[in-house]
Amino acid sequence: MTLTIRALRAAAIVLATAPALLMGPAWAVDAPATPAPPPPAVPVSVTKVVRRDVPVLIRGLGTVQAYYSVLLRTQVDGKLLQIPVAEGQAVRKGELLAVIDTRPYQAALDAALAKKQQDEAQLANAQADLARYSSLAAKSFASRQQVDTQAAQVKQITALVAVDSALVETAKVNLGFCAIVAPFDGRVGLRTIDPGNFVRAAEATPILSFAQLQPIAVTFTVPQDNVPAIQRSMEQGKPPVTAFAGDNATELDRGELLTIDNSIDATTGTIKVKAVFPNARNALWPGQFVNTRLLVGTDSRALTVPSGAVQHGQERLFVYVINEDQTASAKTVEVSRDDGVMAVVSKGLEEGQTVVTDGHSRLRNGMRVAVTGAPAKAGG
């Protein structure tokens, strides 16, 4: 019985090991090699190289300032009686803005006029005496000395009348200073002194501010290398300037270049320029920062690509061009101008070629690409 059980166990071991013996060692047979899968295509965005008329724009950061701006102060001492305009009110040139008490200055004018009349009466009497003395002297009834003395008195009183006339004009000027009027069309600012206060001409604090906002000015700086192009453009007229908000997309107003400064800042290599805008919608406000674009010319039929298509290598500029087999090739290019939105290519590309605008980070020369979306126009 024991022998039979042992025989059965041995037979089971032989059957279990038989397939392994038939197959032999694993290294005895070479398995066929599986080819490595090709690398996946790199997703990219592309655009076409196109010819177009490209405006030559000089971009800058500008500051809005009032075309005219004044701080209204009194030129005479006195009590501020009234400010007949509201803060923020738009007024026309010549409208009354503030009134100073006129009574002291009206009294001074009246006194000057009375003094002038008094001296004019004395002058008339002295002139009559001179005429009489001259007549008597001709008949030898008066001495020549009396005539000369009377003539000197006439000159003296004439001078007094001239002084009186000057005092009258001074009194009139001071009286006129009691009414402060708008020197130009503009907008009233915030009031700093209220009616009822005594104001002095020597005070530094203004009564209120006043500024002209229509038109309005914008000053901005440009690199000194742009001065010749600006001057050439100004010879043909006033170059247009567009002002944009901080997002560089919202157009605020369109104006024209007024002038360039008379010197270049040696520390920065830039020069200030000034533009004027109609500001009909009051979209520009003094002290506001705006982005400016100055148009100084146009490049006709230039090869263009978006600025994002141009890549910077260690020693060159290049773009990735998509071939017919959907692979990318790096092409060295020369860029004559790049304003941050569109690049004008002077060498290295041809019209109609497809270039990569996004997806460069994973792209290498010769790699397959997968275009995401239809090709867009350059700059679009």
For the chain, 380 residues long, the average pLDDT of each consecutive 10-residue run is 50 49 47 67 89 88 95 94 94 95 94 93 88 78 79 91 94 94 94 94 92 95 92 92 92 95 92 95 95 90 90 88 89 85 87 89 86 59
Q: Are residues 324 and 292 in the same domain?
A: no
CATH label of the domain that carries residue 320: 2.40.420.20
177 and 74 in contact (C-beta within 8 Å)? yes
Give the model's pLDDT for residue 36: 66
271 and 263 in contact (C-beta within 8 Å)? yes
Q: Are residues 94 and 187 in the same domain?
A: yes
Q: Determine, yes or no, domain membership for 197.
A: yes
Q: Which residue has the tokens 């501010």?
A: 209
Give the model's pLDDT for residue 342: 84
Please state, in angstroms and rounded to a whole number, the distance separating the CA atoms of residues 50 and 310: 15
CATH label of the domain that carries residue 91: 2.40.50.100
Please state, in angstroms and rounded to a whole number, the distance separating the CA atoms of residues 304 and 310: 11
CATH label of the domain that carries residue 145: 1.10.287
Q: Are residues 337 and 364 in the same domain?
A: yes
Closest CA to 64 of 293, 292, 284: 284
Q: Are residues 81 and 201 in the same domain?
A: yes
Give the model's pLDDT for residue 215: 94
Structure tokens belonging to residue 28: 């005895």
Q: Determine, yes or no, domain membership for 8.
A: no
Q: Are residues 246 and 305 in the same domain?
A: no
Q: Determine, yes or no, domain membership for 13.
A: no
Q: Are residues 89 and 187 in the same domain?
A: yes
Give the model's pLDDT for residue 374: 56
Please state, in angstroms and rounded to a whole number, the distance separating the CA atoms of residues 254 and 279: 8
As beta bridge partners, residue 99 has: 82, 179
Q: Determine, yes or no, domain membership for 15.
A: no
Please, which residues have CB within 8 angstroms of residue 71's CB and are 6 or more apart in sequence? 206, 209, 210
Please, which residues have CB within 8 angstroms of residue 78's CB and are 6 or more apart in sequence? 100, 101, 102, 104, 105, 178, 198, 199
Q: Which residue has the tokens 């008339």?
A: 124
Of 242, 276, 299, at which residue does a domain stop?
Answer: 299
When computed from its CA atoms, the radius of gyration of the chain, rounded to whole angstroms, is 46
Q: Looking at this protein, which amino acid is placed at residue 252? A: L
Please state, in angstroms and rounded to a whole number, the distance separating the CA atoms of residues 222 and 291: 12
Q: Determine, yes or no, domain membership for 336.
A: yes
User: What is the CA angle 81-84-85, rounded to 5?
Assistant: 140
H or E, element range at 11? helix 2-23
| DSSP of 13-25 | HHHHHHHHHHH--
Q: Are residues 218 and 295 in the same domain?
A: yes
Give the model's pLDDT for residue 129: 81
Q: Are residues 254 and 281 in the same domain?
A: yes
Structural domain total, the chain: 4
As beta bridge partners, residue 17 has: none
Of 278, 299, 320, at which residue does a domain stop?
Answer: 299
Q: Are residues 293 and 304 in the same domain?
A: no
Q: Are residues 190 and 137 in the same domain?
A: no
14 φ, ψ (degrees, to nearest 5): -65, -45
Q: Determine, yes or no, domain membership for 32.
A: no
Report whether the peptide linkage leading into residue 375 is cis, meaning its omega lies within 30 degrees of zero.
Answer: no
Q: Are residues 196 and 268 in the same domain?
A: no
Residues spanned by the domain of 161: 103-177
Claim: this prediction has a pTM higher than 0.85 = no
How far is C-alpha 365 from the chain's CA centre? 44
